Structure 1
Amino acid sequence: MYVVLVYDISQEKNGARRCSRIFKICKKYLSHIQDSVFEGELSNAQLERFKQELKGYINKELDSVILFKSRQEKWLDKEFWGKEDDCTSFFL
């Protein structure tokens, strides 16, 4: 399954720490695209583990997380405006 995750974490109530932890969990499962946007291919089992890990850090009163799901990346039209970052540029 191809997923795109977008989050907005409030800085209230230890928000900087939550944001840092959420970022690390997202990087473990998905490719970092832009600020608080991640995308990638996950199996159903990986997606469930990912969601379980994130749940411990999301404050439902303050934070917003949106997960877009598609069967495959090819069913998702992606359009870039402005600078397109090369997510593979860190490879040697």
Structure 2
Amino acid sequence: MWQDAIFLCGSVLTALALGPVLRDSRACIPLGTSLTSAGLRTAYVAAFLSLGMVWSAAGVALVSTLWVLVALYRRPSLVDAGLPVDVEDPVHSGFAGSD
């Protein structure tokens, strides 16, 4: 079915567009953006599979995986967001009983 090929091409182009984001260590993508994109695409995978569009589902699954990687590796840290980081690390903070 030709629609399957069209959606697969769109997914491949999206995956290629996400490549530079994953390679750029300075890229900072909000966590809400990444997780929403990954979640919606996961729903698309189920929809495509229910329609028998296996190649479309595979392409969108790839893009969903890339968005999860963006969420893991390119989310802003608390310091980058300007939020106070007052959380003590109990392993390194010298609490009672440590040497």
Specify the TM-score bucket, using the shorter chain as the normaliser.
0.3 to 0.5
Using structure 1 for the length normalisation, give the TM-score.
0.33
Bigger helix share = 2
Bigger strand share = 1
- Higher Cα radius of gyration: 2
Using structure 2 for the length normalisation, give the TM-score.
0.32
